[in-house]
Each structure stands twice: as C-alpha cells, then as structure tokens.
Amino acid sequence: MRPVNLLPLDARAQKQSTLSTVNSLPPQRIVRTGGAVAATLAVLLGLLYVHESSTVHSKQRKLADTTAQVQALQSKVAKIQATQKAAQSRLAIVQAVSNSRMNWDTTLMDVARVIPSGVFLNSLSAAAATTASVSTAAPASTFTVAGSAPSYKGTASVLDRLALLPWLTGVTLQTSARQPDGTVTFSAQGTVVQTGGTR
C-alpha cells in the first residue's frame, strides 16, 4: 500500500516550515549553541560540587570540634574520679586512725581503778598499727605498762586486774625481775580490741 499523510494541509505546511528553518541554520551556529549549553551545564555542576564540598568540610570541622570537646570532658572526668578515689582513701585512713586513737583520760582512769594497792607504774604506752596496714576497720593497738610490785604475787595480781578491762585482751607478762629491796619490776602487754579506752 502507498502511505497516506493524514495531517491537515496547514499542519503539513507548518512542519515543513520548521524543518526548513532547522535545515537552514548554519552548522557553526548549532555547534556554538551546543557548546554554550554544555558550558552552562558544566558551570552548574561545578557550583553544585563546590557547594556540596563546602558543606561536607563544614560538617567535618564541627565533628572534629565536638570530638575534641568530648575528649577534654572525658579527661576532666577521669581526673575528678581519681581525685575522689584518693580523697576516699585518705578519709578511710583518717577514720581508722580516729577510731583507734587512745582517749588517755578514760584509759588512765580505768587503769587506776584496777591496779592493786602497793603497785606503782613507771610507764604506760600504746602503739597503733602502722599506716601501711590501716584499712577501713580500726587497727588494733598494743597496750604496754611497766612498773613495780611488792612481790611476784602482786605482779600476778596486776595481770589479773588488767584483764578485767573490757577494752583490753590478751594481757601477758613480758618481763619480771626481783630487785635488791625485794620488790619486783615487771612489764605487761595487751591488745586494745574495744572502744572503751580508745575514744
């Protein structure tokens, strides 16, 4: 079959006019127009790239600043925690020492009540545990007395009387010796285990 053009006559004329106009354009003008369009697209793409790159760099700088701030805060927190631990350790030592200190007023009154008549004390001392062994529990103190008694029986009586003190335990005789005048010098030692004579 032979093809049939169904377009109206005026549409046919317009189409032919358009085609003739395009065909009449010189090739150089077409090339210049295409180059301008391509250059415009390249400029737009370049501007878009610069904008996106600037945005990315800005966000990277903000992230770096935030990371530095977090690290600085973490360092400060670590220093504060270390200071708190050191303070707690020192407080525990102070409390332990305070709990184990001797209240000499009470101690001397208690000892004076139990020492038999005729016995004289030459010295009385208490040695607390060393700082290196101090813990949250009160360290035991060593309580030592030295003096003279009329006889060995009097010395034994001193040990019995000291054992009656509620804050003293493990009373033992350390040394004893008879003197030319008949008296007996002695030293005894015990351990402070309660708070009766240590506050």
Per-residue pLDDT of the chain (199 residues; tens, 9 = 90+): 566 555 565 655 565 555 555 555 566 766 677 777 788 888 888 888 888 888 888 888 888 888 888 988 888 888 898 888 888 888 887 777 666 666 788 888 999 999 999 999 999 988 765 544 444 444 568 899 999 999 999 999 999 999 999 989 999 999 999 999 999 999 999 998 855 444 4
> How do the residues of the chain divide into helix, strand and coil, expressed in percent and rounded to 5?
60, 20, 25
**CA distance linking residue 126 with residue 134, whole number of Å:** 16
**Please, which residues have CB within 8 angstroms of residue 195's CB and are 6 or more apart in sequence?**
99, 167
Class of domain 101-192: alpha beta
Residue from 134, 137, 198 nearest 168 by CA: 198
CB atoms within 10 A of CB 21: 9
